[in-house]
Amino acid sequence: MYRHFRPHRAAVAFGAFLTLIGAASGLAQPLAAKALVDRLGADDSITGILVLLTALVILGTAIESVGAYVLERTAESVVLAARRTLIGRLLRLRLPEVERTQPGDLMSRVTSDTTLLRAVTTQSVVSAASGGLTFIATIVLMALMDPVLLCVTLGVIVLIGGAASLAMPKIAQATRRAQEAVGTISTALERAFGAFRTLKASGAERRETEAVQEAALEAWRHGVRAAKWQSVAWSSVGLSVQVSFLAVLGIGGARVASGAISVSTLVAFLLFLFYLIDPVSRLVEAASQYQVGSAAIARIVQAERLETEELETEELETEELRTGEFGTGEFGREGHGTEVADPVGAGPASVAFEDVTFRYRDDLPYVHHGVSFDVPGPGMTAFVGPSGAGKTTVFGLIERFYEATGGRILVDGKDVREWPLAELRAAIGYVEQDAPVLAGTVRENLLFAAPDATDAEVREVLVRARLDGVVERLPEGLETVVGHRGSKLSGGERQRVAIARALLRKPRLLLLDEATSQLDAVNELALRDVVTEVSREVTVLVVAHRLSTVMLADRIVVMDAGKVRAVGTHAELVAADPLYGELAATQFLTASESAPESVSAPESAPASA
Ligand SMILES: Nc1ncnc2c1ncn2[C@@H]1O[C@H](COP(=O)(O)OP(=O)(O)OP(=O)(O)O)[C@@H](O)[C@H]1O
């Protein structure tokens, strides 16, 4: 826990000091007021003392408010630093880590858990400091009065306080559970909004609402439980003072009777006992706030421990970040992320798999059982095979989203593990099967992978991806907002935006996971032309679902059950590979029928081999 506060300890100490000074100056006010009244009685001039009293009030208030400001500001800085560290790590997490966790829960750690650090930094520290000081002062005075009675008092406080301290871990536990439930709320909402149309079409609003509300109820339950334990801790303060009072009254009375102490000492001691309520309450408050904070910290640290990728760019954990002493404006513009170095090589990249084995997790079966192929650049290579054969996995391994379990993957003859990750990815353009489009404008989507592209380059790529007409028709052209996940665009438009985005990156290797959904014939033809054009200069790998695409390929890699079973051209494979013949005759058939003008080669007729 201390790690998160260490950079701010001086500011916290300063803020706490100012707050205490401010509070102490309040104590001087009654004395000044007394002097004022005395002078009034003595008919002396009161101007000087009046000025002094006013100055004292203003100064005390000013110091106290500066102290409060310093503490609140520091608390915000602690929250900001924790958020920045988390955000900096979350977007660099390794893909398997993200697949293992719930993104909604991770988000709630950034948004909700971090806010709990605020209370620990302010209330907890001030309460501990002021409570601690007053406690010590009162104890010293009590010791001067009668050490025996002090021992009695402390004995009772320690006994009851010790019992109450058992509540502390319960507070931490309940807070952690409540925060976990908050994470579940985020996860459930993220799931619902992620498939909003499906949610509505499935009539699942009520069920999903109930699920989210159940999570909210769970958060309430644990919040209430935390409150219950907090009140147990609080009531121990009153109880221990009351019991001490009775004990002191009994034992003190006996001591008065035996002449060990005077009655006035006993009375003064009892008064001090009541003075103890405030500092002890503060200490208990500090301890329970600490529990709340430690629960949040545990969740934050858990997220911080997830494995991230090394993008070999500017480290986010700078001094500035750790202290959180900065304006927020510069975040995101400082060149971290993947928008780095130009690719090392030039021209089309070559790709080779050498006996690659891979499984997504240790407890899952192998997806690749020794995949080997060699793709020199440029040109188009189509990967075909039954669903689940491991085609998309090939792309995930080239991009190093996952590490191969065995064998080697070479790009430009160099093992991908030896490539600086950012450089490797800078050389690749990747169009996913569902062509994700992000919320924002069309321009933002295009520039997502190439933020420095010029307007001329954007225009050129729009023409290449046959998007220029679409953009012209959009109400605000490139500045048109496309909605959550590009929901305001058609499927075909989204796909072309995704291709344009990948092309704008000027890749040396284009990975294209063809959509399984049908595009209309015109769009499909347009896209095919784009890809053919690109493949003259760039190495293009396509996971192909349409015969029309396969027909254009210079090379076809047939995959089945995690292995490459054949490589060749369409004509060669139709003759030599029964599975390919079958795929060509069945799976590709519908697609080729939907775009009959697509293929002009004689072998375009559905292969009957
Ligand atoms: N992230 C993942 N975690 C665990 N298993 C996965 C993951 N992605 C894919 N798989 C599994 O790996 C196998 C191969 O998947 P892959 O997506 O590579 O197949 P594919 O040949 O591209 O299929 P399709 O043509 O249907 O897209 C499948 O059995 C799939 O269930």
Closest ligand 1 atom, residue 361 Cα: 4
Q: Quote ipTM for the complex.
A: 0.96
The pLDDT tens digits of the residues spanning 500-536 come to 999 998 899 999 988 756 566 777 777 788 888 888 8
Q: Would the pLDDT of 77 be above 80?
A: yes
Q: Pick the residue whose CA is nearest to atom 25 on ligand 1.
A: 387
| Residue nearest atom 5 in ligand 1 by C-alpha distance | 360
How far does residue 390's CA lie from ligand 1's centre (Å)?
6
C-beta separation of 569 from 555 below 8 A: yes
The share of the chain scoring above pLDDT 90, in percent, equals 23
pLDDT interval class at 1 (50, 70, 90): low
Q: What is the mean pLDDT of residues 332-346?
A: 44
pLDDT at 450: 87
pTM of the model: 0.73
Predicted pLDDT at 605: 35
Provide Rg for the chain, Cα atoms. 35
Q: Which of 307-321, 346-360, 498-512 has the lowest mean pLDDT?
A: 307-321
Q: Which of 392, 398, 512, 588 is the best mutation target for the ligand 1 pocket, counting ligand atoms within 8 Å of the beta carbon and taking the most?
A: 392
562 Cβ inside 6 Å of ligand 1: no
Q: How far is the CA of 393 from the centre of ligand 1 (A)?
A: 6
CA distance 183 to 8: 28
pLDDT band at 163 (very low <50, low <70, confident <90, very high): confident
pLDDT at position 32 over 80: no
CA 360–ligand 1 middle distance (angstroms): 9
Residue 392 has pLDDT above 90, yes or no: yes
Q: What percent of the chain has pLDDT over 70?
A: 87
Nearest 5°: the CA angle 356, 361, 366 is: 45
pLDDT, position 27: 65
Structure tokens at 3: 């790690």
Question: CB-based burial of residue 202 (10 Å sphere; 0-12 exposed, 13-18 middle, 19+ buried)?
Answer: exposed
With 60 as the cut, is the pLDDT of residue 482 above it? yes
Q: Which of 8-17, 142-151, 276-285, 311-320 has the lowest mean pLDDT?
A: 311-320
185 or 574: which leads in pLDDT: 185
C-beta atoms surrounding 207 within 10 Å: 11
Amino acid type, 247: A
pLDDT: which is higher, 130 or 93: 93
Is 60 exceeded by the pLDDT of residue 334?
no
Is the CB–ligand 1 distance for residue 390 below 6 Å?
yes
Does residue 606 register a pLDDT over 80? no
Lowest average pLDDT, out of 5-9, 279-283, 315-319, 419-423, goes to 315-319
- Checking if the pLDDT of 165 tops 80, the result is yes
| Residue 359: pLDDT over 90 | yes
* Ligand 1 geometric centre to CA of 394 (Å): 10
Q: Which residue ranges form the domains of the chain, and what is each CATH number?
A: 2-323 (1.20.1560.10), 434-506 (3.40.50.300)
Ligand 1 neighbourhood includes 367 CB (under 6 angstroms): yes
Across the range 265-272, mean pLDDT stands at: 85
Which stretches of 258-318 are DSSP H helices? 263-275, 277-304
Distance CA 78, CA 83 (A): 9
Q: Which atom of ligand 1 lies closest to the CA of 402? A: 1
Instruction: Please give the pLDDT value at position 517.
Output: 60
Is the beta carbon of 392 within 6 A of some atom in ligand 1?
Answer: yes
392 C-alpha vs ligand 1 centroid, how far in Å? Answer: 7
Pairwise CA distance, residues 471 & 469, whole Å: 6
Please determine, for residue 174, whether its predicted confidence score (pLDDT) is greater than 90: yes
Residue 587's pLDDT band (cuts 50, 70, 90): low
Which pair of tokens denotes residue 255? Answer: 């001591």
Coil, helix or strand at residue 365: coil
**Could you give the count of Cα atoms lying within 13 Å of 264 in the half-sphere of its Cβ?**
0
Average pLDDT for residues 35-61, to the nearest whole number? 78
Average pLDDT for residues 214-234, to the nearest whole number? 92
Mean pLDDT confidence for 369-383: 91
Which protein residue's CA is at the shortest distance from atom 9 of ligand 1?
393
pLDDT, one tens digit per residue, over 92-109 is 899 998 888 888 889 999
**Average pLDDT value over all residues in the chain:** 82
- Locus of tokens 């719930």: 102
- Whose Cα sits closest to atom 12 in ligand 1? 367
Does the pLDDT of residue 597 top 70, yes or no?
no
> Which of 411, 413, 415 is closest to 426 using CA atoms?
411
Residue 320 pLDDT: 39
Mutation to probe ligand 1, out of 353, 357, 367, 516 (largest number of atoms < 8 A from CB): 367
For the cut 50, the answer to whether the pLDDT of residue 325 exceeds it is no
Q: How far apart are CA 42 and CA 48, in angstroms?
A: 15
User: Between 366 and 23, where is the model more confident?
Assistant: 366
Quote the pLDDT of residue 25.
Answer: 74
Is the separation of the CB atoms in 555 and 509 below 8 Å?
A: no
- CB of 388 closer than 6 A to ligand 1? yes
Find out whether the beta carbon of 234 lies less than 6 Å from any atom of ligand 1. Answer: no
